[in-house]
Structure 1
């Protein structure tokens, strides 16, 4: 038998399928034809057994036995049993070829030998319909018509030989053979046409099923990756499906089963009331609810939208309504709205900031002169200090806004001299400490003294100062040196997304974890979790890092402290690997360049 190829031969006679249909789909497509093939093989075994029993009965009745007839019957039985055992799973190719000889060829030969060798008046010609049916149902049109034509020629040859040997009139026998063979051709054509229709409909059904499965997978992936929560609730207030975002908004673990009842927690009563009202009105509903799982977690504001759908039950004519609930975090919606509003004012803010600097400088100078004139008056001096502090704050905000415009207008990559990483980081940290009002304590762990980076000195200072200011604001209340740490290194390290050729710099503080709503907009302009911050520091850091091929990222990492390993917030800058170690150049070379 010829083994089937990996690409099913039946594809030659079917409608074209999508390229996404795999071997498993191909096997599913051939499944009904394999069952037909196995049924034909089993029928041949039963037919061969019936022929042997018929010969045994004929021997008992006529007391005569032809050894050749017995040999043909027993040989045919043996061949059908071997084929049923060896080729039950191997569907032959539908094209005409030698693979059909053990089936169609053996059947035709056995029938004609029995008809020629039999000594009784039995007629075996009706059995020729079996090989024609096999060729028509499982083969191509060429194989079906070729089998019918072969049977026709053999019948005509046998009729000519019999009547030539007997010397009688063969007109009636020729007419009977002609009508029989015409019926064979008609049967072959109709069976083959029916087989082609079955294959075509089977291919179309399988194609539609695969497209449906693919669409279901796409829908599942989209829903599971949505930032908004999605719940599917039935009329008994049981959640049938829930995506990870919905579990997070309901203060459930990601490993929580997606099917649960809303009645299990009293904190979900506002959500239950909204779902029940939507079911009662049988209409969409938009509402704002506040959930509180535990007193420690606080209240979670949710903006929800409901949609009612109907799914026909499989075992009844009635329809069960389902409620699809879309959940949105109010804090994220407010933050996104604030970001969009402030981003739309970005260009105008840059122009305003530029115009503010001139009158602001005049205010600072006038305030300094006024402070000299009011020397010795503590109350007036305190007022001058307040004016000076707020003027400096306003100047920093204007400077940050203008820095954005400067960064965006500069070239993609400036030709800058190599910069010693550890030396510049230490110098910047000392300057930042000396300029801070409260003299913050920080701990340096600089482990890349021989490495230089491709970064402008002033730009790297700006990045580091912004990260230090951010870490100082979000550190714990404890004012120990280990609560604010500066770490540098080279190559692969734990939790550092760097390769063996890259240097990195990290600013770590022991502050509380950032909220998920803050993490999504961490590096966006004008976004800040504090009202007194402009929300531009981290955005400027990202823009400057991208300018020099570096990356900046946030991780929640543990660092060693006198009290042991402690979790904290870490911002890591990974520099480009295009610059070699610092010992390749001297200090004089760095200064001259």
Structure 2
């Protein structure tokens, strides 16, 4: 959409097609009414009305033909026909000629039917407010003068009829000039109003696009939580509706999700109260809601701002880890050298023949903790130098089995006992947009954790992976479910925090790094709370039509 658009006002003779059709339809209704009145003259005694017919048979035929013609035009207009300018010119010209014919068939220029010609000229100047309107006046004036002259010379009428014809001619031109001026001004005023209305509409559309494209969720609700207006960001944050589905599944008219409704009620009771962050659903991001009165007079409507604070939290954590990464990079050499010496010394000690079981146990502790310290350094360094996502559209239905096959092949070579991974994929799973290498890393991390916790808890390294489609039918998700002990309710909010772990051998960075990589691909990693054994982590991908 161009930011600057020139608006040209119509010229004198230009009118919108809709306006011309509407005016012509009104004029044709007038002609039908006149025809019916003329038909009525045929059923009354002419002398009672002071009318004298010179050619009654010709008048009767002309009225019937004129009525039939106007009725036919009315049917065409009802059928949706739109008259062109040439049709309007022909119709008005025909009216002037026919009305002069009716005047001739009655008592001539002195007949009251001559006044109908003034109406026809006026209507012609309204329908076509241009120089052609002067032509109507000239044609009517010439017709009246010719008819008056003929009546005087051939029929013996008084010469006064010529004066009346001249007076009518003056009225024709006066009506034409006055109505042309008035119609010209009305056309300009209407064009100006139309251009201003179009500008207002364009501004409204621009504002609507700005609101819809904002990443901050915006809602307008009433005091009872009924949604009046909602933008795309709010629909996605609260209802999980992607941008491509707004027209089909808009929550406008529905009520707010229960967590947000509860915070709205608290704010209505105490407006100074700041709402706590919440999740609209188990797979939704963590958001913060702020409320403000939209209408200060009656206070019926409330403006709600919904922000994804997970982005802010991630940025803060990213800054913290970036600083930690720089620090680690600076001292990595100093740390790795002692770690290498400790690990090497432990290996040399293992070769001694004078070690008892207690010494071997101590050496094992040294090796394991050396590897753990080195792993922490590697993970923090990976976070600080992580590259940007290079997203691609991937067919999940074909890509996921390939990943599982590759992972199982690697796991069988490295693990004992052999892992068992089951896979099922729903039909019609849509495409997903992500960086394959980064999502590989996420899934490998989730699978490694799941197999390890399943083995420790049940003695069998089992895992179930499910590929499905979200309830809106337009986004794919992947569930990774293990058979481990699960995560306690108090620890669920901390599983994605850096350095949080329930495994003494873990670094606490795996799930944090996995969520970071998902967010970089506009996907969302969440821990489902479905009351089933073990843990289930879900990766919900962004809409495939959404560019990263």
Q: Decide which of 293, 297, 310 is 1:308's aligned counterpart.
A: 293
Does the 8 A contact of 1:232 with 1:322 survive in 2? yes
Q: Tell me, in whole angstroms, the C-alpha distance in 1 between the residues paired with 2:197 and 2:480.
A: 57
Distance 1:109 1:272, change over 3 A: same
- 1:148 is matched with 137
| Deviation, structure 1 residue 529 | 7.0
Deviates more, 1:385-394 or 1:460-469: 460-469
Pairs within 5 Å for 1:400-419: 400-401=379-380
Pairs within 5 Å for 1:67-106: 67-88=57-78, 90=80, 92-93=82-83, 95=85, 97-98=86-87, 100-101=89-90, 103-106=91-94
Q: Decide which of 386, 411, 432 is 1:429's aligned counterpart.
A: 411
| Deviation, structure 1 residue 44 | 1.0
Three-state SS of the structure 1 residue aligned to 2:221 is strand
| Deviation, structure 1 residue 35 | 4.1
Distance 1:119 1:159, change over 3 A: closer
Q: Decide which of 71, 79, 103 is 1:115's aligned counterpart.
A: 103
* TM-score, with structure 2 as normaliser: 0.63
- 2:316 is matched with 337
Three-state SS of the structure 1 residue aligned to 2:295 is strand
| Deviation, structure 1 residue 208 | 5.1
- 1:192 is matched with 183
Pairs within 5 Å for 1:197-216: 197=188, 199-201=190-192, 203-204=194-195, 207=198, 210-211=201-202, 214=205
Distance 1:474 1:360, change over 3 A: same
Does the 8 A contact of 2:144 with 2:165 survive in 1? no
* Structure 1 unaligned residues grouped into runs of 5+: 1-10, 16-28, 279-284, 312-317, 413-419, 448-457, 488-493, 497-504, 558-564, 573-593
Does the 8 A contact of 1:233 with 1:322 survive in 2? yes
Cα distance per residue 1:223-257 (max 9 Å; x no partner): 8xx575746343xx5544475467569xxxx9988
- 2:33 is matched with 46
* TM-score, with structure 1 as normaliser: 0.59
Distance 1:150 1:60, change over 3 A: closer
| Deviation, structure 1 residue 111 | 1.0
Q: Tell me, in whole angstroms, the C-alpha distance in 1 between the residues paired with 2:92 and 2:499.
A: 81
- 1:275 is matched with 268
Pairs within 5 Å for 1:436-455: 441-443=418-420
| Deviation, structure 1 residue 131 | 2.9
* Structure 2 unaligned residues grouped into runs of 5+: 1-6, 241-248, 392-401, 425-436, 470-477, 541-548
Q: Tell me, in whole angstroms, the C-alpha distance in 1 between the residues paired with 2:266 and 2:356.
A: 67
Are positions 1:391 and 2:384 aligned together? no
Are positions 1:534 and 2:509 aligned together? yes
- 2:305 is matched with 326
- 1:232 is matched with 221
Pairs within 5 Å for 1:56-71: 56-57=43-44, 59-61=46-48, 65=53, 66-71=56-61
Q: Tell me, in whole angstroms, the C-alpha distance in 2 between the residues paired with 1:195 and 1:267.
A: 53
Q: Tell me, in whole angstroms, the C-alpha distance in 2 between the residues paired with 1:460 and 1:34.
A: 62
Q: Tell me, in whole angstroms, the C-alpha distance in 1 between the residues paired with 2:269 and 2:328.
A: 48
- 2:344 is matched with 365
Three-state SS of the structure 2 residue aligned to 1:287 is coil
| Deviation, structure 1 residue 442 | 0.8
Cα distance per residue 1:150-180 (max 9 Å; x no partner): 3344344445555565695998457525522
Q: Tell me, in whole angstroms, the C-alpha distance in 1 between the residues paired with 2:62 and 2:443.
A: 96
- 2:396 is matched with none
Distance 1:478 1:31, change over 3 A: farther
- 2:395 is matched with none
Three-state SS of the structure 1 residue aligned to 2:303 is strand
Deviates more, 1:420-429 or 1:155-164: 420-429
Pairs within 5 Å for 1:448-487: 466=445, 468-472=447-451, 478-479=457-458, 481=460, 483-484=462-463
Q: Tell me, in whole angstroms, the C-alpha distance in 2 between the residues paired with 1:272 and 1:128.
A: 72
RMSD: 5.8
Are positions 1:138 and 2:131 aligned together? no
- 2:355 is matched with 375
Q: Tell me, in whole angstroms, the C-alpha distance in 2 between the residues paired with 1:495 and 1:486.
A: 10
